[in-house]
Amino acid sequence: MTVSTPTAAPQRAPLVLTPRQRNWLLLVSYLHLEQHKADKACTLLRLAFQSFPEDAEVQRCLALAELQGGSPVAAARAATRAFKQASGALRIPVGLVFAKALWEQGKHEAARDFLASLLTDTQS
Protein backbone atom coordinates (compact mmCIF):
# COMPACT_ATOMS: atom_id res chain seq x y z
CA MET A 1 0.00 0.00 0.00
CA THR A 2 1.40 3.37 -0.95
CA VAL A 3 0.56 6.47 0.92
CA SER A 4 0.78 9.70 -0.93
CA THR A 5 1.70 12.76 1.01
CA PRO A 6 0.47 16.13 -0.11
CA THR A 7 3.23 18.10 -1.67
CA ALA A 8 3.78 21.63 -0.58
CA ALA A 9 3.41 24.37 -3.10
CA PRO A 10 6.77 25.20 -4.62
CA GLN A 11 8.40 28.19 -3.02
CA ARG A 12 8.87 31.09 -5.37
CA ALA A 13 12.13 32.92 -5.25
CA PRO A 14 11.70 36.60 -4.38
CA LEU A 15 11.87 38.91 -7.34
CA VAL A 16 15.09 40.89 -7.35
CA LEU A 17 15.22 43.96 -9.53
CA THR A 18 18.00 46.42 -10.07
CA PRO A 19 17.35 50.14 -9.58
CA ARG A 20 17.53 50.53 -13.35
CA GLN A 21 14.82 47.88 -13.82
CA ARG A 22 12.75 49.61 -11.13
CA ASN A 23 12.99 52.88 -13.06
CA TRP A 24 11.96 51.12 -16.25
CA LEU A 25 8.92 49.56 -14.55
CA LEU A 26 7.89 52.97 -13.19
CA LEU A 27 8.19 54.54 -16.64
CA VAL A 28 6.21 51.81 -18.38
CA SER A 29 3.61 51.89 -15.61
CA TYR A 30 3.23 55.64 -16.04
CA LEU A 31 2.68 55.16 -19.77
CA HIS A 32 0.00 52.54 -19.06
CA LEU A 33 -1.74 54.94 -16.67
CA GLU A 34 -1.65 57.66 -19.32
CA GLN A 35 -3.36 55.21 -21.71
CA HIS A 36 -6.01 54.32 -19.09
CA LYS A 37 -4.65 50.79 -18.64
CA ALA A 38 -4.49 50.78 -14.86
CA ASP A 39 -4.63 46.98 -14.62
CA LYS A 40 -1.36 46.66 -16.52
CA ALA A 41 0.23 49.46 -14.50
CA CYS A 42 -0.84 47.77 -11.25
CA THR A 43 0.74 44.49 -12.31
CA LEU A 44 4.07 46.17 -13.04
CA LEU A 45 4.00 48.29 -9.91
CA ARG A 46 3.22 45.28 -7.72
CA LEU A 47 6.34 43.64 -9.14
CA ALA A 48 8.37 46.75 -8.34
CA PHE A 49 6.88 46.83 -4.84
CA GLN A 50 8.00 43.23 -4.22
CA SER A 51 11.60 44.22 -4.83
CA PHE A 52 11.41 47.70 -3.32
CA PRO A 53 8.84 47.54 -0.49
CA GLU A 54 10.27 50.62 1.27
CA ASP A 55 10.42 52.79 -1.85
CA ALA A 56 8.03 55.71 -1.35
CA GLU A 57 7.85 56.52 -5.06
CA VAL A 58 6.80 52.97 -5.91
CA GLN A 59 4.18 53.12 -3.15
CA ARG A 60 2.81 56.46 -4.40
CA CYS A 61 2.57 55.20 -7.96
CA LEU A 62 0.97 51.94 -6.83
CA ALA A 63 -1.62 53.84 -4.79
CA LEU A 64 -2.61 55.95 -7.78
CA ALA A 65 -2.72 52.94 -10.12
CA GLU A 66 -4.87 50.94 -7.69
CA LEU A 67 -7.23 53.89 -7.38
CA GLN A 68 -7.51 54.33 -11.14
CA GLY A 69 -7.93 50.56 -11.49
CA GLY A 70 -10.99 50.56 -9.25
CA SER A 71 -9.40 49.02 -6.15
CA PRO A 72 -9.91 51.68 -3.48
CA VAL A 73 -9.04 49.35 -0.57
CA ALA A 74 -5.68 48.45 -2.11
CA ALA A 75 -5.16 52.12 -3.02
CA ALA A 76 -5.78 53.17 0.58
CA ARG A 77 -3.25 50.60 1.85
CA ALA A 78 -0.57 51.77 -0.58
CA ALA A 79 -1.35 55.43 0.07
CA THR A 80 -1.10 54.86 3.83
CA ARG A 81 2.40 53.40 3.42
CA ALA A 82 3.41 56.23 1.11
CA PHE A 83 1.90 58.93 3.34
CA LYS A 84 3.88 57.72 6.35
CA GLN A 85 7.10 58.21 4.39
CA ALA A 86 6.13 61.38 2.54
CA SER A 87 7.36 64.74 3.64
CA GLY A 88 6.67 68.29 2.66
CA ALA A 89 4.94 68.85 -0.65
CA LEU A 90 4.51 65.12 -1.35
CA ARG A 91 2.10 64.67 1.55
CA ILE A 92 -0.67 66.55 -0.25
CA PRO A 93 -0.89 64.47 -3.47
CA VAL A 94 -0.57 61.22 -1.51
CA GLY A 95 -3.18 62.46 0.93
CA LEU A 96 -5.54 63.28 -1.94
CA VAL A 97 -5.20 59.73 -3.28
CA PHE A 98 -5.90 58.37 0.21
CA ALA A 99 -8.96 60.61 0.66
CA LYS A 100 -10.30 59.63 -2.78
CA ALA A 101 -9.82 55.95 -1.90
CA LEU A 102 -11.81 56.47 1.31
CA TRP A 103 -14.51 58.31 -0.62
CA GLU A 104 -14.81 55.51 -3.19
CA GLN A 105 -15.23 53.03 -0.35
CA GLY A 106 -18.23 55.04 0.85
CA LYS A 107 -16.35 56.45 3.85
CA HIS A 108 -17.31 60.03 3.08
CA GLU A 109 -17.03 61.42 6.59
CA ALA A 110 -13.58 59.87 7.07
CA ALA A 111 -12.46 61.32 3.73
CA ARG A 112 -13.68 64.80 4.72
CA ASP A 113 -12.03 64.58 8.13
CA PHE A 114 -8.75 63.44 6.62
CA LEU A 115 -8.76 66.26 4.05
CA ALA A 116 -9.54 68.81 6.76
CA SER A 117 -6.62 67.57 8.87
CA LEU A 118 -4.34 67.48 5.83
CA LEU A 119 -5.15 71.09 4.99
CA THR A 120 -4.77 72.16 8.62
CA ASP A 121 -1.37 70.46 8.87
CA THR A 122 -0.08 72.06 5.67
CA GLN A 123 -1.19 75.55 6.70
CA SER A 124 0.71 75.46 9.98
CATH numbers and ranges of domains, the chain: 19-123 (1.25.40.10)
pTM for this prediction: 0.82
Range of weakest confidence among 4-8, 16-20, 61-65, 79-83: 4-8
pLDDT in tens, 86-110: 888 888 999 999 999 999 999 999 9
Q: Taking Cα atoms as reference points, which of 97, 75, 98, 90 lies closest to residue 122?
A: 90
Contact at 8 Å (CB) between 67 and 75?
yes
Can you tell me the distance from the alpha carbon of 47 to that of 81, in angstroms, rounded to the nearest whole number? 16
